Every structure is written in C-alpha cells, then in structure tokens.
Amino acid sequence: MPRKARWVKQQTGGAMTTVSHKTTNIDHRSTTSYAWDEAWGLLSMLLGYLVICAIFLVLLATQARADETMAEIEHLDDVSQGSLLFQNPHGRYLQAPSLNTDVAIHVSGMIVRAKVRQAFKNNSDAWVEGIYVFPLPEDAAVDHMRMQIGERVIEGQIKEREEAKRTYDQARQAGKKSALIEQERPNLFTNSVANIGPHETVTIEIEYQQLLRYEAGQFRLRFPLTITPRYIPGQPIQQEENVSQFNGLGWSVNTNQVPDASRITPPLWQGEGKLNPVSLVIELNAGFPLTELKSPYHAIQTSAHKAIHTITLANEQNYADRDFELSWTPEAAHAPRAALFTEEMGAELYHLLMVLPPQPEQNKTQRLPREVIYIIDTSGSMSGISIQQARQALLLALDRLQPEDTFNVIAFNSSINLLFGQALPASNHNLDAARRYVNTLRANGGTNIRPALEAALNIQNESAALRQVVFLTDGSVGNEAELFSMIHQRLGQSRLFTVGIGSAPNSHFMHKAAQFGRGSFTYIGDVNEVQSKMKALFQKLETPLMRELQADFGNAEAEVYPKRLPDLYAGEPLIISTKTNLNTHTIIISGKRQQSTWQNSIQLDQGMKGRGIGTLWARRKIADLMDQQHEGANKEIIKQQIIATALQHHLVSKHTSLVAVDATPSRPESEAIEQQAMPVNLPHGQVHEKIFGLRPRTATAAPLHLTLGALFLLLTLLLKPRRTIEGA
Amino acid sequence: MILFRYRTLFFWLALALSLWQLFQGGYLHAKALLAQHLIKHAWHETLEDLQQHKPWPWADTWPVGRLRVPSHNIDLYVLAGDSGRTLAFGPGHRSGTALPGEPGTTLISAHRDTHFSFLKKLTTGDELLFQGINGQWQHYWVSNNIIVHQSDAIADSHENTLALVTCYPFNAIMPGGPLRYVVFAETQKMTPAPKAAEIIKI
C-alpha cells in the first residue's frame, strides 16, 4: 500500500506540492490522508471507467454474436441439400470431411488377420482435424497403424497413452499431419487425424489379430460396423462454467458414472441416407472342407479357388450401419476337436490351444428344478426390431419352463418393473400372466441396467438347485466397468446368461458380463434367428456344464491366460494362451462333469507354426489384467503391467496408443485448423424414421439483463458523488 | 477538476444503464407471465368450439394444449410452434410432432429461465398432465432426463411420449449455450428402481 500511495502522490504531483509549500506547518498525517482521498477518488473513477468499457464490450460482443448467428443460418440455406456440414467454434458452416472404410480380413484356420482402411477426405477449403469413434471386435489385438498421404506411408509407433497424445498434439500444433489411435473400450476406438489439407485425403490403415469363435460346431467371424448410442447414467461432472468448452466430440457430457462419456458418444447422422460407405473382402482358408458358409445380415458373393474362399459384399453400396457376420461349418468328419498353434519369439514360446470336450453321454441325467430370472431391456435403444426380437425370445423361454421350476420377469428402462414380487412356480396360471405381461412391453426411456441386475441377483432363493439369470439386452451402456464389478461381487450361486439383441449390440459388455456371471453369451441379430439361437441357449441352460477345469503344466514354467479357466457349456471349446520356456512336455487338461471327470493330455511340441500367437497371448493377458481391475485389484499396479505388456507386443490398450507423425509441417502457420467429429449411422432397424433436432434457443437474455442491471447499480454506488474534495 | 465532473456523468450514466437493463430483464419475465393469462382465455374458447383462437389479434400462434404439474404447482398453456417469438409467451409445441394421445413423441420447448425453470426439479415418477384440444387430460410420468448437445437429436417413439426441452445449464448468465436439458415422460408408470436395501425385502 505505501508504494501505491507514493505513486499516486507523484502522479498528482504539480498542484499538491505547491499547496504544501505554502502551509509549512501542515502535519504529515493529514497530508497523507488528503492524498488518500484523492487517490481513492481517482482509483474509483478509473475502475468505473474500466467496468463501463468492459460492459460495453460484452454488450457489443453479444450483439455481434447474435448477428453472426443470423448470418450463419442464411449461409446454411445457401448450401445444397444432402451435403454434410459442421459448424466451427466461430459459427461458420463448413463441408464436413467424408469417410470411406475398406476392410480386408484374412482367415487362416482359427486365426484372423484384418486390415481396416479409413480414408478421411476433406471436402472443405479449410484445414481439418477428423475424429472418428469406431467399433472393432472386442477381442481385437490392434498392433499396427499406418498413415498414408498420397504415396508416402508413415508407420505408427506404440506409446503410453498420455505420451502418444502429447506427441499428436505437438504435431497438430506444428501443422504436421498426424494420426492417433486410442482405445476407449476394448471394442471402441478413436481415430484422430490432424492437418488434412483442403480437398486432401489421408488414409489410416489399422491392423489387428483375432481368434475365431468356434461354438456348437460352427466358426463365426464378426465385424462390427456401427455403435448403438450408449446410455450414459450419472450426474454431469463438468463444471458448469466449462460447459461452453464442450468440444463437440460426443453428444453426452461426462458423468460421475461414465467419466469419459464425451469420448464414446459420437454424433449421430441425422440427414438423408447413410454415411460411411464400406467395402469388405474376406479371404477364408478354413483348412477343411465346408458344408455351409453364410452371412445372416448381408448379401454376399463367394468364389472358391482351391481351398481358399473369397467373400465380398453383394450389394454395390454398403454402409456402416450393422454388424457383419460370417459363419461356416466344417464337414462332420473334419470338425476339429483340438488345435494347437506355436510361435517362437526369442527365448519365449507362445502356444494357443483349443480343446473341445466330447459331448456328454446322452443318458437321461435327472433334470434339476431351477429358478430362472428373465431380465428384459425395454429402453429406447431397443425400440423397433430389437424389442420384437426380445419379446419373441422371452416368450419362447417361458414355454420351456417345467412346473417344478420357479421364475420371474424383470423389465427395465430408466426404472425397473418386476412381474411378481418374488419368483413363483411355473404354473399355467403364472405363465399366462407372464405372457400377457411380455406382450405389453414397449421400448422407451434410458438403459439403467444396474438396478435390474441388482434385483435379479439380490433376491436369491437358496433352496433352488440351479439359479439362472437370462438377460436380454443390446448392452448399449457406457458404465460397463461399474456393472462388471457389481456382477462379480453379487453373483453368489447364480449364473448370468446374456442374450445380445439388435443390429449392433455392445459385444464387449455381453461377453464380459457373461464371463463375470460364469454363464455364456448368445447373439440374436435378426427376427428370423430367434428360434434357432434361443434353442442353442436352452441347450446350454439345460445341459450340465463342465466345471473346475484345470490345465496342469507339470514342472514347466508357464504363464497361462485366462488365469482362471471358465466353466464350459454345451458346444463350447476351451481356449488357452500360454507362454513357456520349454517346448517338449505334455499338459494335462481336466474338468468335472455332473457324474464323471474328463481328462485330456496334449503334446506341446506338435503345434502348428502360426504368426501372431504371441500377440494373441498378450491381448488375452491384457484382458485378464482388466478383469482383475474390475474385481478390485490395485489400479496403478494393473496399469503398469498393462503398459509393459502392451509396449512389448506393440498393442493398443486402454493405456497405450499408436501415433504416427509426418516429418515436415504441411499446414501454413497462418491457417487455422477445424476440429470435426465424424458422425456415425444409427444401427439398422432402430426406429428413427423421425428424429427431432433440439435447435430452438430456449434461454432468454433475462438473466443477462438482470445481471448487467445489478452490475450497473453496483457501479452507481461506487460513483456516488462525494464531498471529500471540499478540503482542497 | 474535470475528472470529477465526469464522475457525476458516469454516475447518471450507470444509473440509467442499470434501470434499462433491469427493465429489459423484468420485461421478459412480465411478458412471459402476462401472456399466459391472455392465452388462457384463448384456450378456453378453443375447448368450447374446437377452433383455433389467437390469444391477441396480431399473434402468429395459438394454444394447442395445457400442461399441468400438480406436484410443482405448474399450469402452463402450450402454443403452436417453437420459434423464438412464440417461446417468449409460452412453451411451444414443435409442429409435426405428435399431440397427446397420438403415438409418437410430443416435443415441447420453453425457456429455462421462465416457463421451464421447473424442469430441474422434476424427478422420475413425477406426474404430468397434458390436456389436448378434445379436453381430455392425458397422464404422463417422468421416466428420465438427459443433457445433450443441441446438435444431437432425439428419436421419435412408437409410443406416446412427452419430451420437454429447455436450455442447460439453468443458471448460466449468457443465453445461447449449446446444451439442452430434456425430460422424458411416458404414459405408463414404471415402478421407481428400489434401493438395494429395499430389494432384499421384496
């Protein structure tokens, strides 16, 4: 303060010093207080002046913004229909980049190697950053990424997630072309591509390795093509002041239950037609003669050359709006019962082992009475074809119950509704009531899974010999991790069977929920499949399973995944990945049936050489580590283990990303870069003939006027004419 | 001194600006409040003769329904269309969307600081009543609410659903923010999700 006072004295110098010279006996204190008055007057004046300037500026800016908004809308009218536009933060409308996806999948025996090429074409005159949230199979081991600019190819490097993001951001700032692949969920990734020049195309090629599914004598390959919009539970955690910084990448704000919600909710395409044309080529080298090769959801064209089948999509135009599935069945004599693959990497040996236990002898094992709880998802994302499939499936399931069984039905969306207060016997009367109830179910509202699962798992009747929870849903939620932990903690004696419904269910949720629930997963993608798929599920529910599976490696050192072998249901093979230091020894696999034990020994040195077996092992190790985290293991330790494994095997994971950076800048410093989230299609069959925008401006300027009014009022107090000057 | 003369000038200037702004703010609220009284008369006439009645001669809108929320003492007259001009007087019904009793989503928007400021208080299970032109009261129960970006859209439903839209956050000072708060209500009441402890008792 003294310093400030001195400064004021010097400033007001002239007049004051002359006064003090004349009155020599004036005491020091009064001079100071006089100066203080003077200073205060001046200060408040300056302050007032500043505040007024600021307020005028704010008013001007508001006015300018409103004017600009009007201008934008006019501008929007000028643009021809059908083109995809986006609005930059300054309110300008630009032609959005478009995206083409080409998928090439190579299948060799049980191993899948796939290349996904995403071509980002910038249709505007500005420099653009494209951000695309896209699905991949939930067990895909993403190990390569390449950025292609014209003829040049830049190979992506694996880095810790934060470091990769920093590298990308720096390149983006510097005007260099760069690409970044991040994992949001095991089946959901983000591809960011920075500095795509005006009317330029940048192609990103992503490669992954995967293991085929083999169940009930059938091989199945799935490739997801779009994302069913996820339900985001919880309270927003973003500070309200920061809301304006909403980055436009996702339609949801982050919440306490889904802290990364804005990253997993890409904008939905609302215009005419579909976006993101897709081409798909599959080269299938099954290794045995096939009896059946089919794609239930897409028309396909096949051609065979020697043992290799080539499959392409039959329709000329295909769009990313539903999962692709291809299934094939080997001739009965060639149906594999076991398979072993080996890969040597340095001193380490990786094995992948598939064993299919023989079908149980069909002696009439006594059918045990069971308690079955059916949970049916009636949320808005199930509307349309999905709810019909779910209702049909549930009606079939009800028919299957025996009088000695007990059952209940829980319907949920944002809230839950129990058919009976508790599980009741499957009498004709009760079943009729249930059928009537199921027929009234309609799809609407949110997907609040937790209370429904809690209700199903909490009311456990201990007398029931077998307790099964059958859960029909599309799993379109963002809080998967929370639900896995809950299932793990509360499962008790129950077993959870998930039934995936719709064109693009969240397969990561389905598989993991069934795994934590020690049950299995069935997928119904089409109304016509309900009958056959539910039949397969009933077989699982009713055929006694194989429990307490064990793999004995003798005295060899082996790191085996999954760490805890799962229970097996009818038609399911056991698949384990191992890393060992010895090649010549036998492993013994054993398990318990209802009345007998089963045992099988396998010579590890008889494996077929296969590429990428180590990659698959690492991917399964990471999945196992993530599971441990859901079960309550220390997050930081798990994270370090995941990073170490992922970096060694060049894998994308929750904590590691692939990043590619061009060597030289291409965007001139004078040009700005526009960020654009690539919209995704609604899954096929979802009822969205009509969707309504939320554009109306639903806030008046009243709060602004009232706040400004109050501010000015405050200012008048500050500027109140005062009489202290009289002393001068 | 010259500066002090300015001080007086600034004082009066600030006072004038203050009154002007307070008047502007108050005017918006008064307009929102008073218009509803005029619309009320038009609505009663509509119920009598089933014709459209403009609340005042130069209006470009007319009431299409009445929305009540007994638990929060809310009684509002809903106007046709949701242009900015309409929303100044009352909640607006998006033309082309369903009306009460019809299958589909009824979309109603209003300002977050006047008519729809009560949306923030609605919770799952709250009852809403909507009267259509036939005089019938349709019952709805709040099912959920979401916060979305204005560039997002909500899907039409097969069922009769009410979607009430307003700006978010409720207490932001600047108008024109990008977020919307949407409350959904359905014609079926679902049991609110019981708490874990309650479930065990069932």
Q: Is residue A344 part of a domain?
A: yes
For position A7, what pLDDT does the model report? 28
For position A76, what pLDDT does the model report? 37
For position A116, what pLDDT does the model report? 95
* Residue A262 CB partners (closer than 8 Å, separation 6+): A246, A247, A249, A250, A252, A253, A254
For position A485, what pLDDT does the model report? 93
Highest mean pLDDT among A15-24, A348-357, A359-368 belongs to A348-357
Q: Output DSSP code: residue A369.
A: P
Q: Is residue A143 part of a domain?
A: yes
Tell me the per-residue pLDDT of A563-579, one tens digit each, with 9 for 90 and over: 888 888 888 889 999 99
Query: In this structure, are residues A419 and A439 in contact, taking their beta carbons and an 8 Å threshold?
Result: no
- The mean pLDDT value of chain A amounts to 80
Q: Touching check for B2 and chain A: CB below 8 Å?
A: no
Cα torsion A553, A554, A557, A563 to 10°: value is 40
Q: Touching check for A717 and chain B: CB below 8 Å?
A: no
Lowest mean pLDDT among A7-11, A423-427, A433-437, B168-172: A7-11
3-state secondary structure (DSSP) of residue B170: coil
pLDDT interval class at B87 (50, 70, 90): confident
Query: Which residue did the predictor score with more confidence, A484 or A253?
Result: A484
Mark whether A48 and A134 lie in a shared domain. no
Q: Is residue A386 part of a domain?
A: yes
Region A288-312: what's the mean pLDDT?
88
Q: Is residue A346 part of a domain?
A: yes
Instruction: Using DSSP bridges, classify how beta strands A278-285 and A201-211 pair: parallel, antiparallel or unpaired.
Output: unpaired
* Residue A370 CB partners (closer than 8 Å, separation 6+): A405, A406, A464, A465, A466, A467, A468, A541
ipTM of the complex: 0.78
| Placement of tokens 């308690």 in the chain | A371
| Placement of tokens 């706040």 in the chain | A707
For position A230, what pLDDT does the model report? 78
> Which residues constitute the domain of residue A565?
337-360+547-585+608-648
Region A290-294: what's the mean pLDDT?
87
Count of Cβ atoms closer than 10 Å to residue B57 Cβ: 5
Lowest mean pLDDT among B47-56, B92-101, B138-147: B92-101
CB contact under 8 Å between A698 and B28, yes or no, is no
Residue A425's Cβ-count burial label (10 Å; 0-12, 13-18, 19+) is middle
Mark whether A344 and A377 lie in a shared domain. no
Lowest mean pLDDT among A95-109, A252-266, A488-502, B33-47: A252-266
Mark whether A417 and A552 lie in a shared domain. no
Mark whether A515 and A466 lie in a shared domain. yes
Count of helix runs (H) and strand runs (E) in chain B: 3, 9
Mark whether A6 and A36 lie in a shared domain. yes
Mark whether A421 and A402 lie in a shared domain. yes
- Residues 397-416, chain A, touching B (beta carbon < 8 A): 412-416
Q: Output DSSP code: residue A267.
A: P
Reply yes or no on whether the pLDDT at A185 is more than 80: yes
Region A236-265: what's the mean pLDDT?
63
Query: Which residue did the predictor score with more confidence, A348 or A252?
Result: A348
Å between B172 CA and nearest CA of chain A: 8
- Hey, what are A616's tokens? 């698959």
CB contact under 8 Å between B124 and A413, yes or no, is no
Å between B176 CA and nearest CA of chain A: 6
Mark whether A421 and A501 lie in a shared domain. yes
For position A622, what pLDDT does the model report? 95
Tell me the per-residue pLDDT of A604-662, one tens digit each, with 9 for 90 and over: 877 888 888 999 999 999 999 999 998 888 999 999 999 999 999 999 999 999 999 99
Mark whether A656 and A557 lie in a shared domain. no
For position A497, what pLDDT does the model report? 93
Q: Exposure string (b/e) for A211-245, b if CB count within 10 Å is 16 or more?
A: bbbbbeebbebbbbbbbbbbbbbbebebeeeebee
pLDDT interval class at B60 (50, 70, 90): confident
Region B97-126: what's the mean pLDDT?
85
- Residues 316-345, chain A, touching B (beta carbon < 8 A): none
Highest mean pLDDT among A8-22, A145-159, B167-181 belongs to A145-159
Q: Is residue A227 part of a domain?
A: yes
Residue of B nearest to A87 (CA): B151
- Among A661, A677, A693, give the residue marking a domain's end: A677
What angle, 0 to 180 degrees and rounded to 10, lies between the N-to-C axes of helices A28-78 and A702-719? 160
| pLDDT > 70 in chain A, percent | 79
Region A549-559: what's the mean pLDDT?
84
For position B150, what pLDDT does the model report? 66
Give the domains, in start order, of chain B with CATH numbers.
7-186 (2.40.260.10)
Q: Touching check for A710 and chain B: CB below 8 Å?
A: yes
For position B78, what pLDDT does the model report? 92
Mark whether A538 and A552 lie in a shared domain. no
pLDDT interval class at A337 (50, 70, 90): confident
* Residue A120 CB partners (closer than 8 Å, separation 6+): A97, A98, A99, A130, A132, A193, A196, A201, A202, A203, A204, A678
For position A31, what pLDDT does the model report? 46
Q: Touching check for A62 and chain B: CB below 8 Å?
A: yes
The domain total for chain A is: 4
- Nearest-5° Cα angle at A233, A504 to B93: 85
Which H or E element spans position A348?
A: strand A348-355
For position A156, what pLDDT does the model report? 95
For position A531, what pLDDT does the model report? 83
Distance, CA of A243 to chain centre: 22
Region A334-342: what's the mean pLDDT?
84
Which H or E element spans position A132?
A: strand A127-135
B158 vs A contacts (CB less than 8 Å): 383-384, 442-443, 687
What angle, 0 to 180 degrees and rounded to 10, lies between the N-to-C axes of helices A428-440 and A385-399? 180
For position A389, what pLDDT does the model report? 85
For position A107, what pLDDT does the model report? 93
Query: In this structure, are residues B202 and A418 in contact, taking their beta carbons and an 8 Å threshold?
Result: yes
Mark whether A198 and A293 lie in a shared domain. yes
- At A430, which CATH number? 3.40.50.410
| pLDDT > 90 in chain A, percent | 31
Q: Is residue A698 part of a domain?
A: no
* Residue A722 CB partners (closer than 8 Å, separation 6+): A41
- B135-140: list long-range contacts, CB under 8 Å, 24+ apart: B135/B47, B136/B100, B136/B101, B137/B68, B138/B100, B138/B101, B138/B187, B139/B187, B140/B185, B140/B186, B140/B187
Of A455, A704, A716, which is closest to B18 when you measure between CB atoms? A716
Mark whether A532 and A554 lie in a shared domain. no
For position B153, what pLDDT does the model report? 60
Q: Is residue A635 part of a domain?
A: yes
3-state secondary structure (DSSP) of residue B143: strand
Distance CA A104, CA A716 (A): 72
Reply yes or no on whether the pLDDT at A398 is more than 90: yes
Q: Is residue A234 part of a domain?
A: yes
- At A275, which CATH number? 2.60.40
Lowest mean pLDDT among A2-6, A278-282, A304-308, B85-89: A2-6
Region A133-148: what's the mean pLDDT?
93
- Among A485, A518, A542, give the residue marking a domain's end: A542
Mark whether A386 and A445 lie in a shared domain. yes
Distance CA A470, CA A485 (A): 18
pLDDT interval class at B130 (50, 70, 90): very high
For position A247, what pLDDT does the model report? 46
Q: Touching check for A240 and chain B: CB below 8 Å?
A: yes
Q: Touching check for B73 and chain A: CB below 8 Å?
A: no
Q: What is the largest CA-CA distance in chain A?
A: 124
Residue A495's DSSP bridge partners are A468
Query: Which residue did the predictor score with more confidence, A319 or A137?
Result: A137
CB contact under 8 Å between A715 and B18, yes or no, is yes
Q: Output DSSP code: residue A333.
A: G
Query: With a threshold of 0.90, does the pTM exceed it?
Result: no
B94 vs A contacts (CB less than 8 Å): 692
CB contact under 8 Å between B113 and A703, yes or no, is yes
